[in-house]
Amino acid sequence: MQVARLVHWMAAATTAAALILSFPQTARSAPPGLDLTARAAVLIDADTGQVLFGKNAERRSEPASTTKVLTALVAIEKGHLDDRVTVSQDAWGLEGSSAYLEPGEQPSLENLLYALMLPSGNDAAAAIAEHIAGSKEAFAAMMNETAASLGATHSHFLNPHGLPDPDHFTTPLDLALITRAAMQVPEFAKIVGTKSFELPGGRQQRLFYNHNKLLWNYDGATGVKTGYTESAGSTLVASATRDGRSLIAVFMGDRPEDIWTDARELMDYGFDLAPPQTVVVPGETVAKVPVVGGRVKQAPILAAGGLRLYLQGADLPALERRVDIPSTLQAPLSQGQRVGHVDFYLRGVRLGGADLVAGAAVAALSDSFWARMAAYAVRALQVALHVVLWVAGVLLALTLLLTLRARLIRRRRRSPRFGRSAEYVPLHRVIQRNLGD
């Protein structure tokens, strides 16, 4: 078993990887002097997602171990790097390239990701899948869900390691989408750009070197993953950055002796292109659209983001901008509300685009009138309530005073000094009696 694993490990060290793409669109034809042996390939700008070159970019292909790009992305998203992962007997016994894990061993998820991406350990892939989802099958469902959410709709994954299966496939374009998303995750980018890593623990030293030869001999290389099976051939996902420009290339169905030459030639082609030109600036006013039922008659429509495109001299006159927004907008509108899209086409091929948003809030006339009426009514009720409470307070005070006064009068009349203990004679009777006398 150990000898077989070593043979697979050495074979995997010579394989190539698949690259990402964020916009599934037709690419440029092969320039003179660029003749790739890979059956399918694609080159994109990592920042803009623009396709710079494509060869059978939508062809269904076996990804081999470049599958692990998606495995690592799902693991980082669903797990915690400091998780302790128990290596099962099934994971330990998996065929193919190995990280020499031991049954019952409990490495951290972070260390397993290095074991997954540098030596391309199938045992690490299985252990990760079982830890995250409970089984390799359940983890594959997570992989397909993530791929679909990234727009990789022409792929289907059955396992986390990439061993051959007729129902396990992707395309250079789909894998490009997946990889582009993964490279935006700092933990992922750090791992795939690492040249060597020693996995702690175990009964033997496990010092792994990255199978991606570009990290060693191509200026600016940053990743990503190699792969190989007899049926898939060599596959490679490659990435590099120079002078602020980042490129990603995907190769599938290549020959082991040609994969690295193909990678360097295609990357060189991309870096030799003229720098991208800005075709739309974030916040740029693209249009003004009439607003129905609003307090203002028009609303400015702005680009939510910017876009840079690789364009040759002859491309500029042929570049077409297509603005997709309604002829009128209905109030109310919120500032920043998405209202449309602007796309750029070159000879019928979509190169990219940006969302369009309302540049200012627009209140509806009816809404503002009733809002004002409601505010007036609330204020009037508040004033009326204060008046009623004040009057009620005054009346209550007067009532209390009058009640007290009446009680005092009654008490005085009943007292011996003012009461009727002696015969009561009215005053006029007293006066009459005195006059009569």
Query: Domain spans of the chain?
Result: 2-273, 278-358, 365-428
Whole-number pLDDT of residue 416 = 59
Q: What is the dihedral of CA 77, 101, 158, 165, to 10 degrees?
A: 150
Q: What is the pLDDT of residue 366?
A: 67
Q: CA–CA separation, 171 vs 252, rounded Å?
A: 8
Question: For residues 352 and 344, is the Cβ–Cβ distance under 8 A?
Answer: yes
Note the pLDDT of residue 70: 98
Topology (CATH level 3) of domain 278-358: Peptidoglycan synthesis regulatory factor (PBP3), Domain 2 (2.60.410)
| Residue 366 appears among annotated catalytic residues | no
pLDDT tens-digit map of 132-174: 999 999 999 999 999 999 999 999 999 999 999 999 999 999 9
The one catalytic residue in 120, 155, 239, 246 is 120
List b or e across 121-151, with b for residues whose CB sees 16 or more CB atoms inside 10 angstroms. bbbbbbbbbbbbbeebeebbebbbebbeebb
Beta bridge partners of 362: 333
Tokens of residue 156, six digits: 């289907």
Stated as kind and residue range, the H or E segment containing 120 is none
Does the pLDDT value for residue 68 go beyond 50?
A: yes
- In the chain, pLDDT over 70 holds for what percent of residues? 84
CA geometry: angle at 105 spanning 100 and 111, to 5°?
A: 70
d(C-alpha 344, C-alpha 154), whole Å? 24
Tally helices (H) and strands (E) across the chain. Answer: 12, 15
Catalytic residue, candidates 55, 61, 68, 97: 68
Distance CA(237)–CA(73), nearest Å, equals 14
Whether 98 is catalytic is: no
User: How does pLDDT run across 309-354, given as a tens digit for each residue?
Assistant: 988 888 888 999 999 999 999 999 999 999 999 999 998 888 889 9
- For residues 43 and 250, give the distance between their C-alpha atoms in angstroms, rounded to a whole number: 7
Is the predicted pLDDT of residue 397 greater than 60, yes or no?
yes
pLDDT at position 421 is 47
Give the CATH superfamily of 2-273.
DD-peptidase/beta-lactamase superfamily (3.40.710.10)
Indicate yes or no: pTM above 0.85. no
pLDDT tens track for 406-425: 877 877 776 655 444 445 55
Give the list of residues 6+ apart from residue 277 with CB closer than 8 angstroms, or none: 308, 309, 310, 311
**Residue with the two structure tokens 């099934």:** 90
Q: How confident is the model at residue 282 (pLDDT cuts 50, 70, 90)?
A: very high
pLDDT for 178 equals: 96
Q: Is 360 exposed, middle or buried (0-12, 13-18, 19+ CB in 10 A)?
A: middle
What's the CA angle centered on 65, arms 61 and 70, to 5 degrees?
Answer: 85
Kindly report the number of other CB atoms within 10 A of residue 376's CB atom. Answer: 10
Name the residue among 284, 109, 304, 98 with its Cα closest to residue 187.
Answer: 109
pLDDT tens for each residue of 80-111: 999 999 999 999 989 999 999 999 999 999 99
Give the side-chain half-sphere CA count within 13 A for 408.
6
What are the tens digits of pLDDT across the range 364-378? 886 556 566 666 777
**Three-state secondary structure call for residue 130:** helix
Q: Which of 22, 55, 61, 65 is catalytic?
A: 65
Spatial contact of 114 and 197, defined as CB atoms under 8 Å apart? yes
Report pLDDT for 362.
93
Whether 65 is catalytic is: yes
pLDDT at position 116: 98
E-state strands within 283-337: 285-292, 298-303, 307-309, 319-324, 329-330
